[in-house]
């Protein structure tokens, strides 16, 4: 009889530099051909569980560990990481931490080279993995030129090339456009149907439900609170913590009080809302002299705008935003911030007007404590000591991290790091907030809470966020930009831009249950609303 691929018995772990166990008394089995979806709030222990299974705990992350992890009936305690990696493949939450090679080919081949696989076999497996994920066109690309979503796919290709029996996916959809997320999920379903054991940590629960995972594990405060089939999930989880399909939220929210209306950007009110704060005038740009990435972008960011920027992976969204903050300068055309050409302004000068939250927290975080991280920007902008203390405390409150003030930022979970990077910009009190994938790695409750708080901050006159989460645009944006192939293909109100499902499909976006429900009820509501509010209309 073939042993069960994965058995976890009485598993507990406490990190050396933290109080209290990160996970406590975890018990479960995962069988061949099974997809086990692991859901729960940011910081509930999901990533710690993954690290305990793939051997990073206790080899790379030190602390007190007890219990057992059995892979095909064998205890992995004495195994080397190279031995574990042949059985267990892991795709990390943040692809920046996983990608080492300078070229895609080298990156996907890296693990196989370390196992001394013959060269011909390596090339065959690399091409097979790239073709399987429909990214063969990236084979010769430099990894630093890839978008976040493209890096996520390359990281997965590197793991699949190793042909593991068990696949651990930690937020694999976080950086992917909706169509790529569907492709990835279809791939995962195919792999499981071929006999692979898959554990998937994911906040985008509604998306994963489409491929019918065999079981769902719901974690809270380091413990398993539910382990069972899909049917029982919506009855045991808090719909404010785990994002369920819109119809489920509406049914459950009917029994609760109606949510309070929030005032959007009070700092913009009464100041001539339509004033242009940033102007793009026929902007073109390319990283290489002969390849243009942005083509003739013309638009204004006006006071009072809450703009969602949507589009496929690699479409030029981040490149576009980096022009607004002066990190990149146009090859043709010009960008004006407060009427001044960004070519004549330093990044530091622009930062007092535009604060930018990077897609990957590891590109931003460096200080020894969260508190020092948040104080860095205001200090460089010459804010007073008393002002800085107040700004830091308020920013931590907004992102729900007041208890992490003295923690090292890079010791936190990816979702918590993302919130620290957002708080670092909030503390600077810039007039325009620009965020690249603000909800990546965030549970539903945290991202709703901090988005609500941000939109009510009097300091901000406009907000712009890049997102692959169509629902984030539905709930919060009053304007949607759609970018594809470096061109602005749509610009308008969410209810106008998002009603065209053919356009969504052409731009690798997928209608959600919340979008469909809002369009259905739009004649009665006159605007888009969150599911909790629709429950009371």
pLDDT of amino acid 271: 56
Domain ranges of the chain: 6-237, 276-493
Residues 103/143, Cβ–Cβ less than 8 Å: yes
Cβ–Cβ contacts within 10 Å for residue 527, how many? 12
The CA distance from 14 to 453, in Å, is 32
Position 14 confidence tier, pLDDT thresholds 50, 70, 90: very high
Tokens of 408: 């090292």
Residue 529 confidence class, pLDDT cut points 50, 70, 90: very high
Token output for 459: 């300091």
Confidence band for 270, pLDDT divided at 50, 70 and 90:
low
Residue 479's DSSP bridge partners are: 307
Contact by Cβ (8 Å): 246, 512: yes
pLDDT at position 96 is 77
Residue 317 pLDDT: 93
pLDDT for residue 148 is more than 80: no
Q: Rounded to 10 degrees, what is the CA torsion of 375, 376, 378, 380? A: 150
Give the pLDDT band of residue 141 (cuts 50, 70, 90). very high
Q: Are 175 and 359 in contact (CB under 8 A)?
A: yes
Cβ proximity of 474 and 493 under 8 Å: no
Residues 48-64: pLDDT tens digits?
A: 999 999 999 999 999 99
Please say if the pLDDT value at position 79 is more than 80: yes
pLDDT at 259: 86
Decide if 103 contacts 69 (C-beta within 8 A).
Answer: no
Same fold, 6-237 and 276-493: yes
pLDDT tens digits, one per residue of 87-107:
999 988 777 778 888 899 999
- Cα separation, 492 vs 207, in Å, equals 26
Among 229, 255, 253, 257, CA closest to 243: 253
pLDDT band per the 50, 70, 90 thresholds, residue 273: low
CATH code given to domain 276-493:
3.40.50.300
pLDDT band at 269 (very low <50, low <70, confident <90, very high): low
Residue 274, pLDDT score: 67
Distance from first CA to last CA of the chain, Å, rounded?
Answer: 57
Can you give the three-state secondary structure of 384-415, one letter per residue? CHHHHHHHHHHHHHHCCCHHHCCCCHHHCCHH
What's the mean per-residue pLDDT of the chain? 90
Instruction: Spell 182-219 as b/e; 16+ CB within 10 A means b.
Output: bbbbebbbebbeeebbbbbbbbbbbbbbebebebbbbb
Q: Which residue has the tokens 């990957």?
A: 360
Averaged pLDDT, 210-225: 94
**Among the listed residues 233, 238, 239, 242, the one whose alpha carbon sits nearest the alpha carbon of residue 205:** 242
The per-type count for the chain, helices as H runs and strands as E runs, is 21, 20
Is the pLDDT reported for residue 160 higher than 70? yes
Tell me, what's the pLDDT at 177? 85
Confidence of residue 368 (pLDDT cuts 50, 70, 90): very high
Whether the pLDDT of residue 363 is over 90: the answer is no
CB atoms within 10 A of CB 248: 18
* Residue 489 pLDDT level (bands cut at 50, 70, 90): very high
Tell whether the model's pLDDT for residue 272 goes beyond 60: no
SS3 (DSSP) at 501: helix
Share of the chain above pLDDT 70, in %: 99
CA distances from 341 to 280, 299, 324, 461 (A): 10, 15, 10, 20
| Residues 150-155, mean pLDDT to the nearest whole number | 88
pLDDT at 198 over 80: yes
C-alpha closest to that of 252 among 233, 230, 234, 227: 234
Write the CATH number of the domain with boundaries 6-237: 3.40.50.300
> With a threshold of 0.85, does the pTM exceed it?
no
CB 57 within 8 A of CB 63: yes
């Amino acid at each position: 009889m073939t042993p069960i691929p994965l058995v976890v018995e009485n598993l507990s772990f406490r990190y050396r530099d933290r109080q209290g166990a990160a996970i406590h008394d975890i018990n479960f089995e995962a069988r061949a051909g099974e997809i086990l979806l692991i859901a729960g709030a940011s910081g509930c222990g999901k990533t710690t569980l993954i690290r305990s299974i793939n051997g990073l705990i206790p080899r790379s992350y030190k602390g007190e560990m007890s219990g057992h992890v059995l892979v095909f009936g064998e205890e992995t305690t004495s195994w080397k990481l190279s031995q574990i990696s042949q059985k267990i493949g892991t795709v990390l939450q943040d692809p920046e931490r996983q990608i080492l090679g300078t070229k895609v080919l080298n990156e996907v081949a890296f693990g196989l080279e370390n196992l001394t696989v013959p060269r011909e076999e390596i090339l065959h497996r690399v091409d097979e993995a790239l073709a399987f994920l429909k990214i063969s066109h990236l084979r010769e690309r430099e990894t630093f030129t890839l978008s976040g979503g493209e890096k996520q796919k390359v990281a997965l290709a590197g793991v699949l090339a190793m042909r593991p029996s068990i696949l651990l996916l930690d937020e694999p959809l976080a950086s992917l456009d909706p169509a790529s997320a569907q492709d990835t999920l279809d791939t995962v379903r195919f792999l499981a149907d071929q006999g692979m054991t898959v554990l998937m940590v994911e906040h985008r629960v509604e998306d994963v439900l489409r491929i019918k995972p065999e079981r769902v594990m719901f974690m809270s405060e380091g413990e398993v609170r539910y382990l069972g089939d899909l049917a029982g999930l919506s009855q045991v989880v808090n719909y404010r913590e785990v994002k369920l399909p819109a119809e489920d939220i509406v049914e459950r929210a009917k029994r609760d009080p109606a949510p309070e209306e929030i005032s959007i950007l009070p700092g913009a009110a009464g100041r001539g809302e339509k004033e242009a704060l940033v102007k793009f005038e026929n902007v073109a740009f390319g990283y290489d002299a002969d390849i243009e990435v942005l083509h003739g972008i013309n638009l204004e960011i006006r006071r009072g705008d809450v703009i969602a920027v949507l589009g496929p992976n690699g479409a030029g969204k981040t490149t576009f935003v980096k022009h607004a903050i002066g990190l990149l300068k146009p090859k043709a055309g010009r960008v004006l911030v407060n009427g001044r050409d960004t070519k004549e302004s330093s990044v530091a000068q622009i930062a007092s007007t535009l604060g930018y939250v990077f897609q990957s927290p590891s590109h931003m975080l460096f200080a020894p404590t969260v508190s020092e991280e948040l104080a860095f920007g205001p200090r460089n902008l010459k804010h007073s000591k008393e002002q800085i203390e107040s700004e830091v405390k308020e920013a931590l409150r907004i992102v729900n991290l007041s208890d992490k003030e003295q923690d090292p930022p890079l010791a936190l979970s990816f979702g918590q790091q993302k919130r620290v990077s957002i708080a670092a910009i909030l503390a600077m009190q810039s007039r325009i907030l620009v965020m690249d994938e603000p909800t990546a790695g965030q549970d539903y409750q945290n991202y709703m809470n901090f988005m609500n708080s941000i939109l009510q901050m009097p300091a901000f006159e406009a907000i712009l966020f890049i997102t692959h989460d169509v629902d984030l645009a539905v709930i919060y944006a009053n304007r949607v930009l759609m970018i594809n192939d470096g061109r602005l293909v749509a610009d308008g109100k969410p209810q106008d831009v998002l009603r065209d499902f053919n356009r969504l499909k052409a731009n690798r976006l997928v209608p959600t249950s919340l979008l469909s429900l809002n369009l259905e009820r739009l004649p009665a509501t006159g605007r888009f609303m969150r599911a909790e509010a629709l429950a009371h209309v």
